[in-house]
Amino acid sequence: MTYAYVLEALSDPTRRAIIEKIAQGPSTVGEITKVIPISQPAVSQHLRVLRDAGLVEVERDGTKRIHSLAPNGLIELHAYFDSMWGGVLQAFKQAADDQSKGDSQ
């Protein structure tokens, strides 16, 4: 998956809430609906989007499906932000230098 899929999946506040719940520990759909007031089918649809984005994994335990964070789910997003960080720092340094030069004149 690319960072764009991850950003799109995380753009929805309900999916972010699901990620925050699952980050506390693996959860079933029923456990998620106890803390996020939406229907089980809606949670399942959101989980499918999160799975397709590579953010969530599912494991069967008998009749239960346990959802957990995918260990490598945020790697693409992390790499994307890392690639921009150097440019951001350079621009910040340049702006500070420009302001410093303006203050000393």
pLDDT digits 0-9 by tens, 73-83: 888 888 888 88
> Is domain 3-104 in CATH 1.10.260.40, yes or no?
no
Give the per-residue pLDDT at 92.
83
| Residues whose CB is less than 8 angstroms from the CB of residue 99 and which lie 6 or more positions away in sequence, other chains included | none
Average of pLDDT values for 12-34? 97
Please name every residue paired with 24 in a beta bridge, in sequence order, or none if there are none.
none
Query: How much of the chain exceeds pLDDT 90, in percent?
Result: 62
